[in-house]
Amino acid sequence: MDTFDVVVVGSGPGGYRAAVLAALRGKKTAIVERAVWGGCCLNRGCVPKKDWYHSARLLAHNDTFARRGLAGSLTGDLRQAWQHQHEMVDRVRSSYRDYLRRLGVTALSGHATLQDATTLAVDGHFVKAQSIILATGSRPTLPDHIAVVPDRIIHSDLLFDQPVPGGERVAVVGGGIIAVEFAYILRLFGKEVTWITRRDPFARRDFSPAAMDALRKGLTAAGVTPRLAAVRDATATGQGVTLHLDEGGAVAVDWVLMATGRRPVTDGLGLEAAGVTCDPAGFIAVDAHLQTAVPSIYAIGDCVSGPMTANRALFEAAVAVGNIIEPKRRTRTDHLVPEAVYSAVELARVGLTEEQAEDSGFEPATGFAAFEVSPKALGEDETDGFVRLVADMDSGRFLGGEVVGAEAGEMIHMLAALPAHDGLRTLSQTAFNHPSRSEEFQNAAETLAARWHLLGKVFG
């Protein structure tokens, strides 16, 4: 029986980073994967989707070419885009596995099953570990009355597993982030998109109403508007798919992308045998230190309740490994993990919203700076959006922030790195490149300080 200090189950972003961090801290480490190395994010999620999103944003600039002195126009080819992301993912996966080898991490291919608190069976081969990290991710879920039909009714995982189905008429079903992003991407690649969702996709409490309004307007301008309805059933034939709606009527398309949520992968892991418990929704139950009911076993990422993002999984990997090295040292703090939406308008946020700040006993103050007069944004024809900061009116403590507009997913990292107690002062005293989008953080901080009489706390 092979013995390790740490065994990680699952090779997605959380599992991969956990294995890397454990190895870098001198732990004898193994990582187990039963399917394709890299998990959903690398193979069927955020990595290939960002590849397509970049192309979609290039296509979105077609109407600015002529006045910028650029001749010609771009057209999208989704089949070739699929090939491009496929080659890119292969390259990343090769680099990923090579790095694990160079760190001395043992890679075990097979299905892992817990035997007890420190033992796993990997396809009949037993391994022992002082600590185990479960990072088994999630899988798409479809309504009970709708089933996958190859090349006709698919979910987001299948969209990247095989070349894109033929046909120009596409229905996107769902109101979450996956639907919001793919409805836009597919439209920019020239598809006729019918977006069907049971609930208003812009009624989100994690982003501000202003951010949701900017997203709504951007999608409308791109020709994407949600149709509020529920799909009663779906009929697939060799010619296409007919979706029957509960409101009456039907929608005929060539294929359907189901973006109706994801559920944790926790079945078949032998959790009961080890004493690991799950909540009623099937997520592995953990404490504030990401420790399960069994002290030697941790769980991170999508298999734990919380935002299903690679960002959270990566952050929690560091928390879990840190607590293996020094027990109870780090706690789970989801609000410190950035969230982003990559659609007609890019959105990103971190920290507390105004409502969350009030619930936590703070008196929120806000600062705002729009990109409409930013020289950098004007020079790029990307003036939609703004920077918005939230601080405590009494102490000046930085609580959170939001970026709406181009490069929001990159810009948000500056806010994520700010010290809470001194964040506004840090922004006010930072030297920024000019012209840049990031200097709007400084403008927002100065506006906030002046408006809410915090000049002494920010500039003193």
| d(C-alpha 132, C-alpha 297), whole Å | 5
**Statement: residue 460 has pLDDT above 70:** no
Sign of the Cα torsion 274, 279, 280, 283 reads: negative
Same domain, 213 and 68: no
| d(C-alpha 397, C-alpha 119), whole Å | 46
Confirm if 300 and 324 have CB atoms less than 8 A apart. no
**Statement: residue 118 has pLDDT above 90:** yes
Q: Give a yes or no: residue 351 inside a domain.
A: yes
Q: Give a yes or no: residue 25 inside a domain.
A: yes
- Point out the domain boundary residue: 260, 275, 296: 260
Confirm if 190 and 168 have CB atoms less than 8 A apart. yes
Q: Give a yes or no: residue 339 inside a domain.
A: no
* CA-closest candidate to residue 188, choices 342, 346, 59: 59
Same domain, 281 and 371: no
**Statement: residue 457 has pLDDT above 80:** no
Q: Facing residues of 88 across strands?
A: none
Same domain, 51 and 87: yes
Same domain, 400 and 424: yes
Q: Give a yes or no: residue 147 inside a domain.
A: no
Same domain, 280 and 329: yes
Rounded to 10 degrees, the C-alpha dihedral 298/299/304/310 comes to 140
Domain span including residue 412: 346-459
**Statement: residue 458 has pLDDT above 90:** no
Same domain, 318 and 378: no
Same domain, 174 and 44: no
Q: Give a yes or no: residue 145 inside a domain.
A: no
pLDDT in tens, 339-396: 999 999 999 999 999 999 999 999 999 999 999 999 999 999 999 999 999 999 988 8
**Angle 229-231-235 from CA coordinates, rounded to 5°:** 145
Q: What pLDDT score does 408 carry?
A: 98
Q: Which residue among the candidates 84, 111, 335, 434 is catalytic per the annotation?
A: 434
Q: Give a yes or no: residue 183 inside a domain.
A: yes
Number of domains in the chain: 3
Q: What pLDDT score does 205 carry?
A: 83
Percent of the chain with pLDDT over 90: 93
Q: Give a yes or no: residue 244 inside a domain.
A: yes
CATH of the domain at 112: 3.50.50.60
- Point out the domain boundary residue: 245, 260, 275: 260
Same domain, 126 and 251: no
pLDDT in tens, 223-245: 999 999 999 999 999 999 999 99
- Point out the domain boundary residue: 280, 303, 334: 334
**Statement: residue 409 has pLDDT above 80:** yes
Q: What is the pTM of this model?
A: 0.95
Same domain, 227 and 310: no
pLDDT confidence bin for 452, thresholds 50/70/90: confident
Burial class (CB in 10 A: 0-12, 13-18, 19+), 305: middle
434 given a catalytic annotation = yes
pLDDT in tens, 257-284: 999 999 999 999 999 999 999 999 999 9
Q: Give a yes or no: residue 380 inside a domain.
A: yes
Same domain, 126 and 212: no
